[in-house]
């Protein structure tokens, strides 16, 4: 297959299982394409072709011997460079940790290997996964940002380098790059994927997410990763959500959707507002009606609450980098850490308690609606690589721990992707993906 590197993960896994494609062939196709486009996109922090091909060879031999195959057998995956992967550097996007090479896998990397995935390499992250950009360019126009902090993960999938990649989100680091790069990006409910072996910013907010070329791809990898791990103290031993199984089912009735205009609505570009008006009008032409909801005034301080929690976490978790190597940190990150140092313990505790209050309001909304639509970003990817863009349309959903997925539906005035974010009740990850697939099929019909 000359274009094997553009296969979805689901199709690639099926082709390998059927003997129509080997993992070696797929990995070589991806590596060849990386050679063709990496100079322009610069999505990779570290990549070892020989290591990737050795994994593919072992997996092909495993299949030849007739052993059972994992759900991701032979499928190449990119890993954000804040996630430990044995044998590869993990430098957190900063020279402070240059040369760091962990000896053990993060839990999620171990789960991927167990499922048969090929770890292709480490994708570029913003500095310590915060705001100062890495070297990655937007695959649709290299003069524009790919977003951040999971810039390399989103760009690598969008550019056809790998069918799947893993990222993280503490504010908008999954959904924003997905929107800017035009791919599916899924941030599951808080506490559903282990963060053991992953750089910590804020244990209250940090969430692992995934990128793919279809919702089926998202379900495929989510089922592998959404596994309880006692090494992550914020995970709970609950049943796996069986995402792919539920995704394959038809909704028992047409899902009921709302459009939520958050307090950030006025920060959306005019073109974004118009695109959403047209989308809602189009959807309302059918049998169902999408209701317009305004979040109550109780959410007016939500961005300040999130900021204090996040910056307090940065101050705590990056204390050593700040005290020992402040001169090697960006001025922006230093300012954020210093602001976090000023957050009192009582304010932090009060802010964390507010999360439950916000979720009580959202619980009432999602009693009546299967999911809600809202912008993923203020607009299409901004020009320039000095900034990763605004995460403000992701903040509420990250703070409240609700699942969110970027749907690459719209287009901005400059022809760049513009994502639609769909969110749902905390813990309803599988139903969210099923509703998202139902919506995409409706739009395509």
Token pair in block for residue 269: 């570009």
Token pair in block for residue 16:
């390998």
Residues 398 and 425 sit within 8 Å (Cβ to Cβ): no
Nearest to 439 by CA among 424, 427, 425: 424
The catalytically annotated residue of 23, 151, 156, 173 is 173
The answer to whether the peptide bond before residue 372 is cis (omega within 30 degrees of 0) is no
- Per DSSP, the three-state class of 405 is strand
Out of 23, 80, 156, 376, the active site residue is: 80
Q: What are phi and psi of 249, to 5 degrees?
A: -90, 150
Listed residue (422, 265, 264, 296) closest to 360, CA to CA: 296
Tell me whether residue 179 is one of the annotated catalytic residues: no
CB count within 10 Å of CB 405 equals 30
Q: Measured between alpha carbons, how far is 128 from 107 in angstroms, rounded to an integer?
A: 20
User: Residue 55's closest CA among 125, 2, 112?
Assistant: 112
24 within 8 A of 54, measured Cβ to Cβ: no
Integer Cα distance of 281 and 314 in angstroms: 42
Provide the 3-class DSSP secondary structure of residue 294: strand
356, two tokens: 């439950």
Among 23, 85, 149, 312, the active-site one is 149
* Cβ neighbours, 10 Å, residue 279: 17
Mark whether 80 is an active-site residue. yes
Distance (Å, whole) CA 59 – CA 64: 9
Handedness of CA 100, 101, 106, 112 (dihedral sign): positive
The percent of the chain in helix, strand and coil, each rounded to the nearest 5, is 45, 15, 40
Q: Is 346 a catalytic residue?
A: no
Stated as kind and residue range, the H or E segment containing 420 is strand 417-423
- Signed CA dihedral, 182, 168, 439, 224: sign only: positive
Q: Tell me which residues are annotated as active site.
A: 80, 149, 173
């Amino acid at each position: 297959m000359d274009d094997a590197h553009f296969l979805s993960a689901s199709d690639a896994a099926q082709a390998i299982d059927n003997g129509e494609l080997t993992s070696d062939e797929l990995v070589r196709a991806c590596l060849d394409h990386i050679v063709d486009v990496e100079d322009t996109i610069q999505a990779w922090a570290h990549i070892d072709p020989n290591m990737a091909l050795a994994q593919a060879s072992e997996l092909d031999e495993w299949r030849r011997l007739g052993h059972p195959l994992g759900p991701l057998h032979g499928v190449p995956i990119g890993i954000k460079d804040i996630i430990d992967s044995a044998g590869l550097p993990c430098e957190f996007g900063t020279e402070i940790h240059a040369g760091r090479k962990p000896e053990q896998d993060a839990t999620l990397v171990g789960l991927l290997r167990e499922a048969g995935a090929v770890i292709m390499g480490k994708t570029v992250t913003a500095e310590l996964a915060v705001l100062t950009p890495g070297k990655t360019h937007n695959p649709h126009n290299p003069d524009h940002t790919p977003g951040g902090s999971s810039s390399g993960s989103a760009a690598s999938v969008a550019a056809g380098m790998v069918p799947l990649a893993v990222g993280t989100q503490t504010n908008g680091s999954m959904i924003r790059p997905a929107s800017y790069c035009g791919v599916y990006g899924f941030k599951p409910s808080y506490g559903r994927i282990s963060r053991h072996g992953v750089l910590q910013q804020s244990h209250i907010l940090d969430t692992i997410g995934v990128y793919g070329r279809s919702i089926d791809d998202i379900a495929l990898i989510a089922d592998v990763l959404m596994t309880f791990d006692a090494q992550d103290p914020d995970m709970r031993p609950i049943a796996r959500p069986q995402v792919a199984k539920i995704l394959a089912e038809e909704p028992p009735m047409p899902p009921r959707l709302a459009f939520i205009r958050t307090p950030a609505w006025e920060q959306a570009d005019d073109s974004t507002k118009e695109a959403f008006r047209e989308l809602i009008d189009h959807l309302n032409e059918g049998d169902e009606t999408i209701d317009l909801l305004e979040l109550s005034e109780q959410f007016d301080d939500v961005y300040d609450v999130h900021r204090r929690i996040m910056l307090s976490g940065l101050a705590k978790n990056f204390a050593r980098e700040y005290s020992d190597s402040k001169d090697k940190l960006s001025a922006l990150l230093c300012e954020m850490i210093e602001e976090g140092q000023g957050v009192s313990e009582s304010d932090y505790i009060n802010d964390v308690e507010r999360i439950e209050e916000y979720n009580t309001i959202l619980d009432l909304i999602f009693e009546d609606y299967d999911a809600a639509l809202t912008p993923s970003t203020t607009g299409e990817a901004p020009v320039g690589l000095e900034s990763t863009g605004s995460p403000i349309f992701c903040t509420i959903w990250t703070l409240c721990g609700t699942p969110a997925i970027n749907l690459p539906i719209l287009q901005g005035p400059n022809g760049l992707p513009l994502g639609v974010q769909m969110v749902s009740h905390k813990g309803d990850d599988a139903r969210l993906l099923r509703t998202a697939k139902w919506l995409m099929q409706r739009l395509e019909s």
